[in-house]
């Protein structure tokens, strides 16, 4: 029995749009300094590993790669962003600037480095980004802390990225959650960070999925399918029996930040 061309085209279109059962897990790279790297704790207790487990427990098919390097400033992160974030990354969590503040680096230098880094990731590479803020230690003067703290919300707005205001929210200044240096979290501290940041990271995952779905609708194969539907079941207007037209041719930290648990941007 002959098959109507339109029925065949619709069936093929569904196959193209439907996600493959063996699709790779989403891959997010956490680009940061020692706070991301997990200085002083076992690798499985570091922020990326705990975040990955928490997301998987919530049903997400995801991998979080540890792109933290102890001692890195924002400028150091910019210098390695091209090789640290490879072409297989679906999204990036950016956590940089703590060492800038601890060394009292001119906030203008930190801002410029993060500005260029975000431009590279978003404008040039089209990657979804969750920008994680840092706050200057409160033993520095008000002029410095105001200039530094404003970097992150300003850039998140400029590049329209998701934003989590303070990486150490709920952990900074709590001796029970930090190592003896008062700067780096213990495993228990990272657990608090992960719990508070989860909604923001899930918003990042949702953004990736929406962009992937939108991209799937622009596949060349589907454009051909759609043209077949439009032109009566033929892959090109020139081949259509009904057609007569030619073919057409993205420390001293403050203890917390109000509202930092909710994803923004």
Active site residues: 34, 181, 184
Please list, in sequence order, all residues whose beta carbon lies within 8 angstroms of the beta carbon of residue 197, skipping any fewer than 6 positions away. 51, 132, 164
Count of Cβ atoms closer than 10 Å to residue 176 Cβ: 8
Dihedral angle sign, alpha carbons of residues 97, 101, 106, 107:
positive
Residue closest to 197 by CA, chosen among 103, 95, 81: 95
Task: Measure the CA–CA gap between 189 and 191, rounded to whole angstroms.
Answer: 5
Q: Give the CA radius of gyration of the chain.
A: 23
Residue identified by tokens 């030619």 is 246
């Amino acid at each position: 029995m002959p098959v109507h061309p339109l029925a065949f085209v619709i069936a093929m279109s569904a196959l193209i749009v439907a996600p493959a059962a063996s699709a790779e897990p989403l891959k997010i790279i956490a680009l940061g300094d020692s706070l991301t790297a997990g200085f002083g704790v076992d690798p499985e207790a570091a922020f990326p590993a705990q975040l990955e487990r928490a997301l998987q427990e919530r049903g997400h098919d995801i991998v979080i790669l540890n792109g933290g390097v102890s001692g890195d400033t924002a400028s150091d992160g910019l210098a390695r962003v091209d090789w640290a974030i490879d072409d297989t990354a679906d999204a990036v969590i950016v956590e940089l600037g703590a060492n800038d503040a601890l060394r009292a680096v001119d906030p203008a230098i930190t801002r410029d480095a993060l500005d260029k880094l975000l431009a590279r990731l978003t404008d040039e590479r089209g990657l979804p980004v969750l920008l994680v803020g840092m706050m200057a230690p409160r033993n520095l003067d008000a002029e410095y802390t105001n200039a530094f703290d404003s970097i992150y919300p300003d850039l998140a707005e400029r590049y329209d990225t998701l934003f989590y205001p303070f990486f150490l929210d709920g952990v900074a200044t709590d001796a029970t959650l930090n190592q003896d240096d008062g700067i780096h979290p213990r495993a228990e501290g990272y657990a608090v960070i992960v719990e508070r940041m989860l909604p923001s990271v899930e918003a990042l995952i949702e953004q990736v999925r929406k962009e992937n779905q939108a991209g799937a609708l622009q596949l060349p194969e589907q454009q051909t399918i759609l043209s077949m539907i439009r032109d009566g079941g033929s892959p090109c207007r020139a081949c259509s029996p009904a057609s007569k037209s030619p073919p057409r041719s993205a420390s001293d930290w403050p203890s917390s930040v109000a509202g930092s648990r909710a994803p923004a941007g």
